[in-house]
Amino acid sequence: KKGETEEYVEVDERERQPNSEQKKWESEQLASAMFQFGAKDAKIKDEYDLLLDDQIEFIQALTMEGSKSKDKKPEITETEKHKMDIEETKKSLPVYPFREDLIAAIQEHQILIIEGETGSGKTTQIPQYLYEAGFTKDNKKIGCTQPRRVAAMSVAARVAQEMGVKLGNEVGYSIRFEDCTSERTILKYMTDGTLHREFLSEPDLASYSVMIIDEAHERTLHTDILFGLVKDIARFRPELKLLISSATLDAEKFSQFFDDAPIFRIPGRRFPVDIYYTKAPEADYIDACVVSVLQIHATQPLGDILVFLTGQDEIETCQEVLQDRVKRLGSKLKELVILPVYANLPSDMQAKIFEPTPPNARKVILATNIAETSLTIDNIIYVIDPGFAKQNNFSSRTGMESLMVVPISKASANQRAGRAGRTAPGKCFRLYTAWAYKHELEDNTIPEIQRINLGNAVLMLKALGINDLIHFDFLDPPPHETLVLALEQLYALGALNHHGELTKLGRRMAEFPVDPMMAKMILASEKYKCSEEIVTIAAMLSVNSAIFYRPKDKIIHADTARKNFNHIHGDHLSLLQVYNQWAETDFSVQWCYENFIQYRSMKRARDVREQLVGLMQRVEIDMVSSLPETIPIRKAITAGYFYHVARLSKGGNYKTIKHNQTVMIHPNSSLFEELPRWVLYHELVFTTKEYMRQVIEIESKWLLEVAPHYYKAKELEDSTNKKMPKTAGRSTMTV
Ligand code: CDP
Ligand code: MG
C-alpha cells in the first residue's frame, strides 16, 4: 500500500528520480516556470525592478489558481504532531520501539555504533533512555557531543523540556564561552570541541558513565580526534560506555575503527521525495531561492519549506528580499513565516524554528548546513537546495586558510533531500542540473581533518601529553604536510621547542579556547602592556558575526555611522573603539541602535570578553591599558598573527610575504583606501577575489621583534622581488 500518510516507505535517495512521465512533465513545467526569472535577472540586472513587477503579476496570477485547488485538497501532515503531548511525541519516534533492545545492547557491549536516519530520536531520546535505565547513578553523567553549537543548545533545551526540568539543572549544555550546566547536571550536551578541552582537566572522563559521540558522520576535526581519544580511554576504563552515533552509511567504518564494535541499526522511516532539477545552471542562486519559495507558496499545497544557504549573510539577504516581495504581493498570498537558522543565531530566535506553524500559514526556514542532519525540524515538505556550503579550506602548499563557498557532495545533497520526507511525501528542488549532480558533485565530503589547519588540534594533543602525532590513532590520518606545517607554526609561535615539546608559553596558550595565533596574541599583551585592549579585540574578533548593521533603507546613514568608528591604523582598532564607546555608555541598547551596531553581537562580545579575562587571571596576566598608545596593541597582534602579513604591490594589490599570493583589502575595511605598505590581516575570505578581512597597518621591523625565528631582516627589505622567508628550524624539528 502506497501513498498514505500512515505508511512509511523506505526510499534510497540515490536512486530516486521523478519516476513517471507525468512527474517528468510536471517537473519540467515547474522548473521552467520557476527559473525563467533567474535567468532573466542574471542578464539584465539594471532592469531588476521592472522585472520584479512582472514577476509579481505572474505570481499573483498563479496565486489565484493555486488558492482554488488548495481549498479542495486537505492539507498534508501539519501540526498534528505538535498537538500531541510530549509523551506521545516521544513514543512516535522511530527509536522508541527499540529502547529496551538498545539498553540491553549497551549493557552488553562497551562500545556500540548506532546508525539511524536523521530525526529518528538518537540525540534527544537515547540519553533519556540511559538515564531511565540508571546510568546516572553514583553521581555519573551522560555526555553527548555535537559538532555544532546551535544543535547542542537547542537539543539540550528540548530534552530539558521533555524531562520537565529547567535547562542548566539536570539537563545542560556546554559550548565554547558558554557553560549552561550545574552540579546537578546529569545529561550534558556539548560541542565536540568542548569535550576535547575537557580532556585537559579530566583526562579519563571520570565523571561520565556514558559518552555519546553524536553526529559522527559529520567528521569534524574535533570529532575525528575524539575518536582516537575515547578509544584509548575505553581500554583502561572498562565500565565507561561509548556510543558512536551516526546518520549515514559510515557505520561499518566506525565499527572497524573501534575494534569491530557491533552496529545497532534503527530502521528508518522515510516518505518518498520527488527530486526536481533545473534545466540550466542558475546564475544567481539566492534569487533562484526567493523565486522558488514564492513559487511553491503560490502553487503548492501547504507544508513548510526548508532552504539551504551557505551562511548568515546569504540568509539575511534572502530573508530581506523575500520579506520585501511578500509585502508587495500583499494579501494575495497566505501568510509566510520566514525564519533564519545559523550558527550565531541568538537562542530566543532558535526556539522559534521549532514552534508550530500557525494554521493556514506556511513556514520557510532559511538555514545553513546545520539543518542537514544536526537539527530536525518537523513538517518540512519542500526542500530547496542550491547545492552549496561554506567550507574551511587550508592549503599546506601556501599555508593559507580560507572560508570558501563550495559545491556540496552527493551525500549532502541526499541528506538535504531527505529532510523533505520525514513526515509526509515531499519535494526537493535542486537548483542545479541533473547532469551537475551526476558528474560534478563528489560522492562524499572530505573529512575536515584532511583539509583544515591543524594548529589548534596539535596544540591540544600536545597539551594532553600526546607527543607522537604521526602514530596517533586517526580514523583517517591528516596529510603529512599539514601535520608538519602545524608543528612548524607552533614552533614559530613559541608553543613548541625544537624537540616538538610543549613550552611554558605553549602550555599557557592551550588554556585558551581559541586558535593558537589568537592565544599567542593574548599572551603577548602581557609583554606589551595592553591586555585590556587585546582581550577586547580578541572578543570582538571571536564574535564572528556582523557587528555593524546595514538596513537596506538606511544604507547611507549606516555607512556614515560606521565610518565614525574607523581607525586610521585599521579594523582591529576600529572594533576596539566600538567596544570602548559602548562600554562608556554602560552597554546601552539605545547607543547600539543609534550607531547601527548589532546589540546582540556586542552582548556576546561582552560575555566572551568576560570569559577570556577569567582565563587571563588563571594564567596570571594583569589587566592593563596602553591607550592612547596603539603601537603596543598592534605589536601584540603581530606577535600572534605574523603569518598573516602582506606587502603592498602593484595596483592596490597586496602580496603575502610567505607565499607571494595576491590578496586585496576588503572593501569594508577602514584601510580600503589607505593602502599602507605593510598590513596584517585576521582572515582571508574568498569570494570573487582573495580578500583580507580585518586589517591593520604594521611596520616590517616589528616582525623581526616578534618572530625572530621566522623572519630574517633581508627578507623584509622594502623592495620587490625579494626571496621569500624560510621557516627557521625546519631541519632540527622533531615531529
Ligand atoms: O538525533 P536524531 O536526528 O536521530 O533525532 P533528534 O534530534 O533526537 O530528533 C527527534 C525529534 O525531536 C524530532 O522530531 C525533532 O523535530 C524533535 N526536536 C525538537 O522538537 N526540538 C529540538 N530542539 C530538537 C529536536
Ligand atoms: Mg541527532
User: d(Cα 272, Cα 424) in Å, to the nearest integer?
Assistant: 8
User: d(Cα 146, Cα 220) in Å, to the nearest integer?
Assistant: 10
Neighbours of 91 (CB within 10 A): 10
Cβ pair 48, 41 in contact under 8 A: yes
Q: Which of 158, 173, 373 to mutate to test the pocket of ligand 1 (most atoms within 8 A of CB)?
A: 158
Q: 420 or 552, which is more confident?
A: 420
**Confidence class for position 109, pLDDT limits 50, 70, 90:** very high
* Ligand closest to CA 213: 2
**Confidence class for position 686, pLDDT limits 50, 70, 90:** confident
User: d(Cα 543, Cα 600) in Å, to the nearest integer?
Assistant: 10
**Confidence class for position 349, pLDDT limits 50, 70, 90:** confident
* pLDDT per residue as tens digits for the range 361-382: 999 999 999 898 888 888 899 9
Window from 209-213, 449-453, 634-638 with minimum mean pLDDT: 449-453
Q: Is the CB of 154 under 6 A from ligand 1?
A: yes
Window from 6-15, 90-99, 137-146 with minimum mean pLDDT: 6-15
Neighbours of 349 (CB within 10 A): 13
Taking Cα atoms as reference points, which of 128, 287, 326 lies closest to residue 212?
128
Question: Which atom of ligand 1 lies at the shortest distance from residue 120's CA?
Answer: 4
* pLDDT per residue as tens digits for the range 146-185: 999 889 999 999 999 999 999 999 999 999 988 999 999 9
* Ligand closest to CA 419: 1
| Single-letter amino acid code for the residue at 234 | A
Q: Ligand 1 centre from 603 Cα, in Å?
A: 29
Q: 487 or 59, which is more confident?
A: 487
User: d(Cα 719, Cα 722) in Å, to the nearest integer?
Assistant: 7
Q: What DSSP element (H or E) covers 137?
A: none
* pLDDT per residue as tens digits for the range 275-329: 999 888 888 899 999 999 999 998 899 999 999 999 888 998 999 999 998 888 8
Question: Which atom of ligand 1 lies at the shortest distance from residue 157's CA?
Answer: 23
Q: Ligand 1 centre from 370 Cα, in Å?
A: 13
Model pLDDT, residue 84 = 57
* Ligand closest to CA 93: 1
Which protein residue's CA is at the shortest distance from atom 20 of ligand 1? 354
Q: Is the CB of 376 under 6 A from ligand 1?
A: yes
Question: Which atom of ligand 1 lies at the shortest distance from residue 94's CA?
Answer: 4
User: d(Cα 218, Cα 148) in Å, to the nearest integer?
Assistant: 10
Q: Is the CB of 121 under 6 A from ligand 1?
A: yes
Residue 542 phi, psi dihedral angles, 5° rounding:
-75, -20
Predicted complex ipTM: 0.98
Model pLDDT, residue 685 = 82
Instruction: Please provide the DSSP assignment of 334-356 as one string.
Output: -EEEEEEE-TT--HHHHHHTTSP
**Confidence class for position 22, pLDDT limits 50, 70, 90:** very low
Model pLDDT, residue 166 = 96
Residue 306 phi, psi dihedral angles, 5° rounding:
-120, 125
φ/ψ region of 535 (left if φ > 0, alpha if ψ in -120 to 50, else beta) reads alpha
Q: What's the mean pLDDT in 392-400? A: 72
Residue 694 has which C-alpha cell?
580585518
